[in-house]
Amino acid sequence: MKSKKIIETYINDIPISTLDLCLTERPKIPSPQMRVERIEVPGRNGSLTKKDAYDDITITCKFSVLLDYHYKGRAEKRNVKHLLSEIKGLLYQAKRLNFEDDDRFYKVKSVDISNIDNRIEQYGEFDASFQCDPFLYYETQEKEIQNGGKIANTGTVESAPIITVNGSGDGTLTVAGSSIAINGQTAPIIIDCEEMTAYSLSQGVAVNQNRKIRGALPLLPVGENIISWNGGITAVTIDGRWRDL
């Protein structure tokens, strides 16, 4: 019988094997569920359906601790208490989760690793449940857009991009048919459509700029989207944050 290949797991881009951990099996990934409101109307056949958004998903991973594993190239047995502290430190700070057989990643919101101390001492294994955003995200980068140009959402669901707007004074940015008015701009404004906020950076510190923009922050539907602007806007870059269900 062929032995199962151990799939490397990355938490915040750190391979868990560096902490003498491995997955015992590939975790089952639940499908995101859309919140749907169904309204019964007297005299109407069927119900009215209002689609809202997707719920978070929980990914439960079963990890095994390899106390005699070669750590960082040195054959040595780890101190269990120190190892536990390192494991908990990494897990509780988890923001990203991904597996070596997939080039996408999950955004982690919280982690439950209750009873980890007792389970490692008794069985050498423990479960970690990651509450994640419902989407799988691609690694993306900023792309400079020409006025009237297009950007293609290559994912399978609409995305919430980060948009950087350069210019001064007043202008209007139109993204996929949605317009945002920018008033009194004095520095590059970064619009985070996922966090629903706008800010600028001053010596690396975020400065709130919500008061300078008006209009609904846009989402980018799957496929090509036209980007245009006028007024004092001089340049626009977009990180699409493409994602899949």
pLDDT by residue (tens digit) across 30-89?
999 998 888 888 877 777 777 788 999 999 999 988 765 444 444 455 667 788 889 999
Non-local (6+) Cβ contacts of 192 within 8 A are 160, 162, 198, 199
CA angle at 115 for the pair 109 and 119, rounded to the nearest 5°: 120
- Would you give the distance in Å from CA 188 to the centre of its chain? 24
Residue 42 vs residue 177, higher pLDDT: 177
Mean predicted lDDT score pLDDT of the chain: 90
Give dist(CA 133, CA 106) in Å, integer.
7
In this structure, what are the phi and psi dihedrals at residue 82, rounded to the nearest 5 degrees?
A: -65, -40
Q: How many CA atoms does the CB half-sphere of 227 hold within 13 Å?
A: 26
pLDDT at 225 over 80: yes
Q: What is the pLDDT of residue 81?
A: 75
Using only C-alpha atoms, what is the Rg of the chain? 23
- The reported pTM is 0.85
pLDDT at 202 over 50: yes
Stretch 167-173: mean pLDDT? 97
Give dist(CA 210, CA 207) in Å, integer.
9
Q: What is the pLDDT of residue 48?
A: 78
